[in-house]
């Protein structure tokens, strides 16, 4: 029996949690039907290592940005820097960026500045913005909307676990919502209701691994193979078979991450760096 193919749209394969068995983690993902993984660089100084993982593994793509929780610790990204990174054929998104007032509210102003630069990079490159939002719904909605009115861009609300109001604001802009393991937690019915009210053609799935493992792996280290567990819960939420839900979210991923959809499996010599 063929396993339906699916994509883990957000993971962190460069994190030390995977250092001892990264090839095995990728192999297990493929066995589970996870045909693609997007590994996210959260500090631009780590971009060479993240890029190397994508270059060495055909199923892996990558994105890069400054995580909001690191915005006060890292040099402020520049538009030129992000645009230059985006030239790599396996670089498919800008971020993750966004606002986090849960842990790092004291750096709110630099987070906002960083977010606006990343929005400009998404506008300049045509690549989707990848947003982290926590306890900052009003500011996130306002800044994303202001940027969109200046010049439209595409975006995914990664690991979405915010309010119905932020979900609606994002969907009204044509953005996507990504389901993580949180959506499969037993106590997350309110979040599942938010997803159920969203159009199926705006839904992605992810692990955010090594974090947020879904049941039955909750409490363990997460990895891309486990996105299938979240997708099965997503199929229930939308009243679809797993096969249909997988097919719909694959189509959504291809529509948003157009560079990954167009990937031919070759890295031009001038783009591949040591």
Percent above pLDDT 70 for the chain: 97
Task: Look up the pTM and report it.
Answer: 0.96
Q: Band of the pLDDT at 274, cuts 50, 70, 90?
A: very low
Mean pLDDT along residues 3-15: 97
Average pLDDT score over the chain: 96
Eight-class DSSP state of 141 = H
Mean pLDDT along residues 205-234: 96
> Which pLDDT does position 76 carry in this prediction?
96
Any idea what the Cα angle at residue 230 is, between residues 228 and 236, rounded to 5°? 105
As annotated, the binding site for a divalent metal cation includes 10, 12, 96, 132, 158, 208
As annotated, the binding site includes 10, 12, 96, 132, 158, 208
Check pLDDT > 60 for residue 270: no
Looking at the DSSP bridge assignments, the partners of residue 62 are 39, 91
Mean pLDDT along residues 252-266: 94
Q: Band of the pLDDT at 139, cuts 50, 70, 90?
A: very high
- How confident is the model over 60-81, as pLDDT tens digits? 999 999 999 999 999 999 999 9
Domains of the chain (ranges, CATH numbers): 6-261 (3.20.20.140)
Eight-class DSSP state of 3 = P
> Which pLDDT does position 273 carry in this prediction?
45
Check pLDDT > 60 for residue 196: yes
Mean pLDDT along residues 49-70: 98
Q: Band of the pLDDT at 264, cuts 50, 70, 90?
A: confident
Check pLDDT > 70 for residue 1: no
Check pLDDT > 70 for residue 183: yes
> Which pLDDT does position 28 carry in this prediction?
97
- Sheet with 129-134: list strands edge to edge: 6-11, 34-41, 60-64, 91-100, 129-134, 155-157, 176-179, 203-205
> Which pLDDT does position 72 carry in this prediction?
97
β-pair type (176-179, 203-205):
parallel
Please answer whether residues 166 and 159 qualify as being in contact, where contact means their C-beta atoms are separated by less than 8 angstroms: no
């Amino acid at each position: 029996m063929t396993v339906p193919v699916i994509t883990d749209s957000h993971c962190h394969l460069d994190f030390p949690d995977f250092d001892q068995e990264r090839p095995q983690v990728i192999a297990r993902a493929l066995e589970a039907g996870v045909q693609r993984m997007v590994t996210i660089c959260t500090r631009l100084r780590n971009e060479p290592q993240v890029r190397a993982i994508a270059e060495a593994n055909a199923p892996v793509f990558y994105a890069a940005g400054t995580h909001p929780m690191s915005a006060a610790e890292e040099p402020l990204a520049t538009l030129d820097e992000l645009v230059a990174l985006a030239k790599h054929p396996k670089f498919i998104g800008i971020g993750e960026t966004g606002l986090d007032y849960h842990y790092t509210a004291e750096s709110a102003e630099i987070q906002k500045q960083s977010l606006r630069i990343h929005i400009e990079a998404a506008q300049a490159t045509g690549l989707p913005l990848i947003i982290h939002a926590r306890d900052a719904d009003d500011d996130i909605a306002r800044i994303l909307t202001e940027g969109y009115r200046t010049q439209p861009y595409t975006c995914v609300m990664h690991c979405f676990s915010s309010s119905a109001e932020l979900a609606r604001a994002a969907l009204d802009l044509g953005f996507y919502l990504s389901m993580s393991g949180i959506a499969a937690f037993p106590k997350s019915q309110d979040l599942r209701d938010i997803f159920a009210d969203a159009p199926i053609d705006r839904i992605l799935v992810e692990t955010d691994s090594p974090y947020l493992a879904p049941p039955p792996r909750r409490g363990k280290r997460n990895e891309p193979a486990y996105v299938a567990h979240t997708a099965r819960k997503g199929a229930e939420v939308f009243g679809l078979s797993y096969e249909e839900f997988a097919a719909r979210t694959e189509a959504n991923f291809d529509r948003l991450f157009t560079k990954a959809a167009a990937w031919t499996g070759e890295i031009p010599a001038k783009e591949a760096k040591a």
